[in-house]
Amino acid sequence: MDFFINKNSTLPILKMKLITDDEIDYQSFNELLQNCAVTFSMVNTENNTYKIANKEGLLIINENPNKFSNQHEFYIGYNWGDNDTNKTGTFIGEFKIDFIDAQCKTLIVPIKEKLYIHIEDSITKSEFV
């Protein structure tokens, strides 16, 4: 999975859809997500150092793409900070979801494939004076 953003940009927001299997109903999944903490980390692929380590992520619950359907979509995301994209390169990103319940389980997302984040030079350069 690839995500592209320009150097020194804070948009677009990094957003990933959480896939729920058919055995989990909306209400159960929604309750599970009500008691969780989402963090985001990003590692440089060249030198294996963290550019971002465990910064607060976003949890977007109950996005319903079709108001006539009972299907709901859940997303996790990250709002880029001013210094997060100040260096070009390829990075690997991951979200950590800590469920705050009796078992204190943790889920690392994405599960099946890596999230490659490509920070690229922009053809324009703007400066605020």
Q: What is the distance, to the nearest Å, from the Cα of residue 116 to the centroid of all Cα atoms in its chain?
A: 12
The pair of structure tokens assigned to 86 is 């100040």
pLDDT in tens, 79-91: 999 899 999 999 9
Domains observed in the chain? 2-120 (2.60.40)
pTM: 0.82
Q: Predicted confidence band at 15 (pLDDT cuts at 50, 70, 90)? A: very high
- Match 């592209």 to its residue by tokens: 4
Region for 89 from its dihedrals, namely left if φ exceeds 0, alpha if ψ lies in -120 to 50, beta otherwise = left
One-letter amino acid at 63 equals E
CA atoms within a 13 Å half-sphere pointing along the CA-CB vector of 124: 3
